[in-house]
Structure 1
Amino acid sequence: MRFEENFATRVSRLKASEIRELLKLLDQPGILSFAGGIPDPALFPTQAFGQAFTDALEGNAQALQYSVSEGYLPLREWIVSEMARNGVTCSVDNIMITSGSQQALDYLGKLFLSPGDTALVGWPTYLGSLAAFNAYEPAFDQLSINGNRAAEDHQSKAAAAGGQVKFAYLSADFANPTGETVDRQGREGVLQLADALDCAVIEDAAYQSLRYDGAPVPPILALEQAQKGSIEACRTIYCGSFSKTLSPGLRVGWVVAATPVIKQLVLMKQAADLHSATINQMAIHRVAEGGFDAHVAGVRDVYRRRRDAMLQALDRFMPKGVRWTKPEGGMFVWVTLPAELDGADLLARSLETEKVAFVPGRAFFADGSGGNSIRLSFSCADETMIAEGMARLGRLITAAKVGQA
């Protein structure tokens, strides 16, 4: 059978993740990798999880049983309290547990996007969001966060030409890939634009807990609720995750939204995988309830030192003409190269000569632009590795500049 001739048209839009392919490089000897945006496994609370799984299984067969699609109730109740700390008042009926926030993005793409509809995203934006939304055959347009009338007019005209704008997607805190944070004015601008276009806002809060400097900015959902009073009146859909704080492998995330959205997502969950693994949810709940703040504080201390080491090393080793972001949190630094250099070409040369891995920037742009940029992750590299890696990378970029002269 010629399977390819029977695949759905949307399959042609599916692409392999460049990051997943790069992760395979970790097994090669001598590679200093700043590619994978993954937590350091040495920081996982393994002992706490061991006890949590033991406790969940003792005399409780329900831990291994089918469960409700909405998610484990005590965990949803804990999330209600956590959201309240972030300025969002909601109930368990406004929360659904997902298999990581990546599943939430897939479901939201399925919920909102018909072929030809417009999704507003950053330029650049999280590669996984493009992959999730792309399967539903949208048009992508650049999200403006300034909230002015010109931006509204531009998006309205783009929608008229290419399809209705269904949502604006952004990670407002320490975004993947840039590490940048949208300030309060920018967040309010996104809400203003969404109100003008009558579209949803998808707030990806995967890195919100990993702030190292500066004052926290309220989530977009909190700002909107302060304006409109009730979560039921809000267009913002908040996607949270335990992947960057407790464990990515357990695949536990959540969505907070008005009940009409949650009800539809629950139906999708029932049709897809019935529910997220009950025992994983129970373990996450026990570990979070037993010391979430203390654990995350320790994680932040480690990552802060690594962020500082990377910024210092970049300042020391990068040649003139190279710029980079200075994130207040998260896991990433975004490097902009001289216009004549290409990140993908640089990576190929780096793997052959300097043995340093990173992610070329083009993968994060919906239109394939951004060739002269790269993403560096400091989460899994100690200070010594960072200093050596940035020295090698600076040497590589300097040589590439000379070669282009």
Structure 2
Amino acid sequence: MKLEEMFATRADRLKASEIRELLKLLDQPDIISFAGGIPDPALFPAQAFQAAYAQALDAEHQAKALQYSVSEGYLPLREWLAEHMAGIGVPCDVDNILITSGSQQALDYLGKLMLSPGDTALVNWPTYLGALAAFNAYEPRFDRLDLGVNHGVSDYAERAEAAGGRVKFAYLSADFSNPTGETVDAAGRARLLDMAETLDCAIIEDGAYQALRYDGEAIQPILAMELAQKGDLEACRTIYCGSFSKTLSPGLRVGWIVAAKPVIAKLVLMKQAADLHSPTINQLAIHGVAEACFDRHVSNLRAAYSARRDAMLAALADHMPEGVEWTKPEGGMFVWITLPKGMDGAALLDRAIREERVAFVPGGAFFADGSGINTIRLSFSNSGEAAIVEGVSRLGAVLRRALSD
């Protein structure tokens, strides 16, 4: 008997994450890695977490910290998040908030909630590959999200209907997106809201990097814009996914969803069926640290990551050969590189590791159709400025050799 012969058809759609595989390179000390979009562990608020966990395990709190809890999430944390969301233009009740095991679980739940086989998910080209993986299990088709002023919205509906389904949602990270680092301007966000109304579909707004703006004027979240239009969160079609992974700690796996209460109620049932609730002690710890130092800590992160971004952009200007282009993000963790046509990012990675001990992520993994092979993603968040300059210099040397071959 072969158990794999009993797998559901959706199992054939599961693919290994290139980034998760590349993270193994971080254990090799001679590698300069721009691969993982991960925070610098040296910047974690470790002392604040030590104090928070000590408090969670003291005589007053340990029974709550170590016990089963409600699926919606730790109430004081949801109350803190309600205040936080109000601060970015989204006043809401605690019943509009669900705590998840990272925003990746939020994406999985939303795919499960909304997608039937053959339905369409609109995504950027390229987009966050974790979102592609989460949605892919529910057997959708992907269509390219285009927020250009001349794009025909009706084409989406026609293609979706021809494929036997309908457009269920548009997914995007509007601020400093993974992988490109680009930001959707206010006009683009307004067009997306109009598009969603025309298509009668949801919007999934991934706010993982929203707090990490280094320069430029802040733009309202899409949910805040829609709420200002409609005056009632219960009438909004935008679903906001947030995370503490890029600000406080990725290892605790604490994220959240903000949405209309009927959406949250259904997601709570999914949470109950999947894992009952996110780890209570981690929620208590995140709440303690957020209350103690969130704003101050994020301000420190912005200063550190901004300097690293500047170092990478300057190094790219100094060391990249002619024909290479890159984005200039106002925040986040990523710079997106477009190589000359005909170059293969995956082949370049193999060569860069062998010849110069530099790692990055090939861009093809971020495209739903596997295109974009002449692109790569660099992350600047987990390397010091000197290592960034050295790594980009080495990458430039590999590129010049590759172009001359």
What TM-score does the superposition give when structure 2 sets the normalisation length?
0.98
Query: Which residue in 1 is equivalent to 2:17?
Result: 17
SS in 1 for 2:337: strand
Query: Which residue in 2 is equivalent to 1:157?
Result: 158
List structure 1 segments (4+ residues) > 2 angstroms apart after TM superposition.
none
The 2-side partners of 1:27 and 1:38 are apart by: 14
The 2-side partners of 1:226 and 1:342 are apart by: 45
The 2-side partners of 1:383 and 1:25 are apart by: 20
The 2-side partners of 1:340 and 1:291 are apart by: 48
Query: Which residue in 1 is equivalent to 2:33?
Result: 33
2:401 to 393, 399, 402: 399
The 1-side partners of 2:276 and 2:222 are apart by: 30
The 1-side partners of 2:129 and 2:71 are apart by: 27
Structure 1 pair 46/29, CA: closer, same or farther in 2 (3 Å)?
Answer: closer
The 1-side partners of 2:30 and 2:391 are apart by: 11
2:383 is aligned with 1:381: yes
The 2-side partners of 1:291 and 1:42 are apart by: 16
The 2-side partners of 1:386 and 1:28 are apart by: 17
Query: Which residue in 1 is equivalent to 2:81?
Result: 79
Question: Once the 2 structures are TM-superposed, how far is the Cα of residue 25 of structure 1 from its aligned partner?
Answer: 1.1
Question: Once the 2 structures are TM-superposed, how far is the Cα of residue 147 of structure 1 from its aligned partner?
Answer: 5.7
Question: Once the 2 structures are TM-superposed, how far is the Cα of residue 361 of structure 1 from its aligned partner?
Answer: 0.1
Question: Once the 2 structures are TM-superposed, how far is the Cα of residue 28 of structure 1 from its aligned partner?
Answer: 2.4
2:127 is aligned with 1:125: yes
Question: Once the 2 structures are TM-superposed, how far is the Cα of residue 29 of structure 1 from its aligned partner?
Answer: 4.1
What amino acid maps onto 2:359 in structure 1? A
The C-alpha deviation readout for 1:151-206, integer Å capped at 9, x for no partner, is 31221221121220000000000000000000000011111111100000000000
Query: Which residue in 2 is equivalent to 1:57?
Result: 57
The 1-side partners of 2:45 and 2:297 are apart by: 8
Indicate if the aligned counterparts of 1:147 and 1:190 stay in contact, CA closer than 8 A.
no
The 2-side partners of 1:387 and 1:252 are apart by: 33
What amino acid maps onto 2:208 in structure 1? A
Query: Which residue in 1 is equivalent to 2:341?
Result: 339
Structure 2 counterparts to residues 153-192 of structure 1, below 5 A: 153-162=154-163, 163-192=165-194
What amino acid maps onto 2:194 in structure 1? Q
Q: Which runs of 5+ in 1 are unaligned?
A: none
Indicate if the aligned counterparts of 1:80 and 1:89 stay in contact, CA closer than 8 A.
yes
Indicate if the aligned counterparts of 1:174 and 1:328 stay in contact, CA closer than 8 A.
yes
The C-alpha deviation readout for 1:200-240, integer Å capped at 9, x for no partner, is 00000000000000010000000000111100000000000
The 2-side partners of 1:223 and 1:36 are apart by: 32
The 1-side partners of 2:230 and 2:160 are apart by: 26
The 1-side partners of 2:188 and 2:94 are apart by: 29
What TM-score does the superposition give when structure 1 sets the normalisation length?
0.98
2:237 is aligned with 1:235: yes
The C-alpha deviation readout for 1:268-321, integer Å capped at 9, x for no partner, is 000000000111101101110111100100011000000000000000000110
SS in 1 for 2:152: helix
Question: Once the 2 structures are TM-superposed, how far is the Cα of residue 146 of structure 1 from its aligned partner?
Answer: 3.0
Question: Once the 2 structures are TM-superposed, how far is the Cα of residue 251 of structure 1 from its aligned partner?
Answer: 0.4
The 2-side partners of 1:287 and 1:57 are apart by: 15
SS in 1 for 2:401: helix
2:203 is aligned with 1:201: yes
Indicate if the aligned counterparts of 1:173 and 1:180 stay in contact, CA closer than 8 A.
yes
The 1-side partners of 2:347 and 2:292 are apart by: 47
The C-alpha deviation readout for 1:331-387, integer Å capped at 9, x for no partner, is 000000000111001001111111110000000000000000000000011111111
Indicate if the aligned counterparts of 1:334 and 1:376 stay in contact, CA closer than 8 A.
yes
What amino acid maps onto 1:165 in structure 2? V
SS in 1 for 2:351: helix
The 1-side partners of 2:246 and 2:208 are apart by: 7
The 2-side partners of 1:292 and 1:70 are apart by: 22
The 1-side partners of 2:352 and 2:174 are apart by: 31
The 1-side partners of 2:351 and 2:291 are apart by: 47
Indicate if the aligned counterparts of 1:56 and 1:282 stay in contact, CA closer than 8 A.
yes
SS in 1 for 2:314: helix
The 1-side partners of 2:206 and 2:257 are apart by: 10
What amino acid maps onto 1:9 in structure 2? T
Indicate if the aligned counterparts of 1:125 and 1:364 stay in contact, CA closer than 8 A.
yes
The 1-side partners of 2:275 and 2:221 are apart by: 29
- Aligned CA RMSD, in angstroms, stands at 0.8
What amino acid maps onto 2:189 in structure 1? R
The 2-side partners of 1:26 and 1:279 are apart by: 28
The 2-side partners of 1:28 and 1:66 are apart by: 39
Structure 2 counterparts to residues 300-379 of structure 1, below 5 A: 300-379=302-381
The 1-side partners of 2:29 and 2:388 are apart by: 17
The C-alpha deviation readout for 1:108-164, integer Å capped at 9, x for no partner, is 00000000000000000001000000000000000112365x431221221121220
1:296 to 298, 301, 310: 298
Indicate if the aligned counterparts of 1:144 and 1:151 stay in contact, CA closer than 8 A.
no
The 1-side partners of 2:131 and 2:147 are apart by: 18
Indicate if the aligned counterparts of 1:147 and 1:192 stay in contact, CA closer than 8 A.
no
Query: Which residue in 2 is equivalent to 1:48?
Result: 48
Indicate if the aligned counterparts of 1:146 and 1:190 stay in contact, CA closer than 8 A.
no
